[in-house]
Every structure is written in C-alpha cells, then in structure tokens.
Structure 1
C-alpha cells in the first residue's frame, strides 16, 4: 500500500478552510494531519473535506485554542489520545489505517518567549510535555507507526536561519533540542524529512512579523514527519510546500509531506 501524508499547523481550520480545501484539491495527500485547529470537533467544517473524499476523521478539539485532527481518504479508526503534562489541552490524537499503520499527530506547546522555566511557566510546560512523551513511548514501544506534527522545535543547525543567533531563542535552545532527541530515541523514531533531505537549510515556519517573509527567509523547521525504524525505509518523497506560506490568508506554517510504501 502506498500513501502520502501531510502535516500542517493551520492556525484555525475554520478561518482557513479555503486553503485547506486548496491543498486537498491540488496536492491530494491521502492523509492530512492538522494542528492548532482552534475549534471544537463538532465545529470543524468537514462537509467540504468529505466532498473531496476525506470521509474519515479523528480529532480532539477545544474552543479557540490548540486542537488536532487527522483527515483521511483511507479507512481509519481512532487509536487514542494522551494529555501529556496534564495540561487539559487538545494536543494529541492517533489514528490507525487499514494497513495497521498508526499515525500520531502532535501539537507540542510553543513554550512562550523566555527559555527559563523559573520565570516562564509555559517553557516548563513544554519541557514537561516532551518528558512525558518520552516516558510514554518508552513504556509503549511504538511499532509500524508514524509521528507527525508541529513539535515546535527546530533541532538542527540547518533547521534555522541563524544557529548562533537562535541558541537562546525558544524553539532552538540546547535544552529543547536535547528533550526532543530523547523523545525521538524513546520510540526509535527516524526523522523521515532529514532522511530524504539530509543536507541544507530547510524551514516549515516563517513569522507573521516579517514584512516580506519570503525575501527575509528567516525560517525554522518546526514541523516534522517521523517513522519507527521498522518502517522508516519505506518513507520517501519528503518535501515542504513552501508556496502555501504565500497563499491568501496563510498560516505561518507550510505543509510538510512524505510518502510511504507499506
């Protein structure tokens, strides 16, 4: 079975329904994982998605904040969700495809502005969330699984526009990178994007604050596609759809794609 998966922090699925439909029409991934949906599940505009063949959905939502959803053309059943760090946030949902592959969709906390948990509660919550992810995957060793989402960390030097300038900026600090690496190791996860694109600057997020995001190109790779080592060799065709960052009323994130033959 061959299928394509995309992950996208949409920054409000209702506000940006038109560009979700544009992506589904033009790129037609078999599975689309959305983060920061900012909607209760029953308010997600599924009618248009279903009309394009995305008749399966699993989701967790809340009004105005967070929220994760997996849309699929392939038959899929819900495979659980976890509230890591007991935040009461809709940040994780899992679905299982008919071929037995489990997809975990995550929206890791952003962590606020200051990389110091003593003065910034949100940064502490981010680290605690990653620690509990790590421990959960240690206890529940994943197999035949894919993990995607806005993990809100750009781990490599070439995942940011300026490594030295961002070492003290939330999303690229050494302690966050260390926590993400421990989480990745705990599930034997392989970074599929970097498996396919091993070298060079690569971004999936550009701030709204930049007057001309494309020309400034001060990006970060915050959005990820991982797979367990037992299926990582089946992943290929990774890419970032950078053009989507320039669509009308865009998210500040661009979709990240990968294909699998499983």
Structure 2
C-alpha cells in the first residue's frame, strides 16, 4: 500500500476552507493533517471535503484556538488524544489506518516572544509540553507510526534563514532544539523530510509581517513529518509546497508532503 500524507497549519479551517479544497483537488494527498483549525469539531466544513473523497476524519477542536484534524480518503479510526504541559488545549489527535499505521498529529505551543520561562509563561508551557511528549513516548514506545504537525521548532541551522541571528529567537533556541531532540530520541523517530532532503535551506513558514515574504525569504522549517525507524525507510518524495504560501489569503505555513510505501 502506498499513500501520500500532507501536514499543514491552516490557521482557521473555516476561514481557509477554499485553500484546503484547492490543495485536496490539485495535490490529492490520501491523508491531510491540519493544525490550528480554530474550530469546534462540529463546525469543521466537511461537506466540500467529502465531495472530493475525504469522507473520514478524526479531530479535536475548540472555539477560536488550536485544533487538530486528520482528513482521509482512507478509513481511519481514532486511537488517542493527549493533553500535555498541563494545558487543556486541542493539540493532539492520533488515528490508525487499516494497514496498522498510526498517525499522530501535533500542534506544539508556539512559546510566546521571550525565550525565558521566568518572564514568559508561554515559553515554560512549550518546554513542559515537549517534556511530556518525551515522557509519553518513552513510556509507550511507538511502532509503525508517523508523527506530523506544526512542532513550532526549526531544529537545524539550515532550517532557518540565519542561524546566528535566530539563536535567541523562540523556535530556534538551543533549549527548544534540545527538548525536541529528546522527543525524537524517545520515540525513535526519523525526520523523514531531512532523510529525503538532507542538505540545504528548507522552510515551511514565512511571517505575515514581511511585505514581500517570497523576496525576503526569511523562513523557518516549523512543520515536520517523522516516522518510527521500523517504517522510515519506506518514506520518499518529501517536499514543501511553497507556492501555497502565495495563494490568496494564505496561511503563513506551507504544506509538507511525504509518500510511504507500506
């Protein structure tokens, strides 16, 4: 069985329903994982997705904030939804495909502006969330699993537009990178995107603040696709759909894709 998966922080699934429909119609991933849906589950606009063949969904939602959903052309059943970091937020959903692959969809807290938990509660919440992720995967080591989502950390020097300038900016600080590495190690996760694209600058997010995001190109790779080591070799064809950042009224994130032959 071969299937293509995409992950995308959509920044409001109701506001940007036309963009989701455009992606599904033009790119046709078998599974689309969305973050920051900003919608209760019963308000997610499913009719148009279903008309394109995406008749299956598992999701967690809340009004106006956070929210994660997995849309699928393939049958999928919910297997888990976790709360981490002491936050009552809709930031995780996991579903299992009929081939036994579990897909974890995460929206890790952004962490605010200051990389200091003593003066910025949100940064502490982010670190605690990652610590709880690590501990959960240590306790229940995943097998035959894929982890995707907006992890809000660009770990490598070539995952940001300027490594030195970004070292004190939330999303690329050494402590965040270390916490993310511990999550990765705990679950025996392989960074599929960098397995396929091992070298070079690679981004999935560009700020709304830039007058011309494309020309400035001050991006960060915040969106990730990982797989457990038992299936990571089956992954290929990774890519970032950069063009989507330039669509009308876009999300500030671009979708990330990978194909798995299982």
Interval containing the TM-score (normalised by the shorter chain): over 0.9
| Distance in 2 between residues matched to 1:185 and 1:54, nearest whole Å | 33
Task: Give runs of aligned pairs for residues 142-221 of structure 1, distance below 5 A.
Answer: 142-221=142-221
Secondary structure of the residue that 2:6 maps to in structure 1? Answer: strand
| Distance in 1 between residues matched to 2:139 and 2:159, nearest whole Å | 30
Secondary structure of the residue that 2:184 maps to in structure 1? Answer: helix
Partner of residue 251, structure 1 = 251
1:208-259 CA distance string (max 9 Å, x none): 0000000000000000000000000000000000000000110000000000
1:25-75 CA distance string (max 9 Å, x none): 000000000000000000000000001000000000000000000000001
| Distance in 1 between residues matched to 2:176 and 2:86, nearest whole Å | 19
| Distance in 1 between residues matched to 2:87 and 2:249, nearest whole Å | 30
Number of aligned pairs? 262
1:94-147 CA distance string (max 9 Å, x none): 000000000000000000000000000000000000000000000010000000
| Distance in 2 between residues matched to 1:181 and 1:141, nearest whole Å | 15
Partner of residue 113, structure 2 = 113
Partner of residue 134, structure 1 = 134
1:69-92 CA distance string (max 9 Å, x none): 000000100011000112000000
Runs of at least 4 residues off by over 4 Å: none
| Distance in 1 between residues matched to 2:144 and 2:54, nearest whole Å | 23
The two structures have a TM-score, normalised by structure 1, of: 1.00
The two structures have a TM-score, normalised by structure 2, of: 1.00
Task: Give runs of aligned pairs for residues 1-262 of structure 1, distance below 5 A.
Answer: 1-262=1-262
Secondary structure of the residue that 1:85 maps to in structure 2? Answer: coil
Gaps of 5+ in 2: none
CA RMSD of aligned residues (A): 0.3
Gaps of 5+ in 1: none
| Distance in 2 between residues matched to 1:212 and 1:117, nearest whole Å | 33
Secondary structure of the residue that 1:90 maps to in structure 2? Answer: coil
| Distance in 2 between residues matched to 1:176 and 1:141, nearest whole Å | 22
| Distance in 2 between residues matched to 1:85 and 1:206, nearest whole Å | 27
1:120-177 CA distance string (max 9 Å, x none): 0000000000000000000010000000000000000000000000000000000000
| Distance in 1 between residues matched to 2:237 and 2:84, nearest whole Å | 31
| Distance in 1 between residues matched to 2:20 and 2:55, nearest whole Å | 15
Question: How far does residue 192 in structure 1 lie from its aligned partner after superposition?
Answer: 0.1
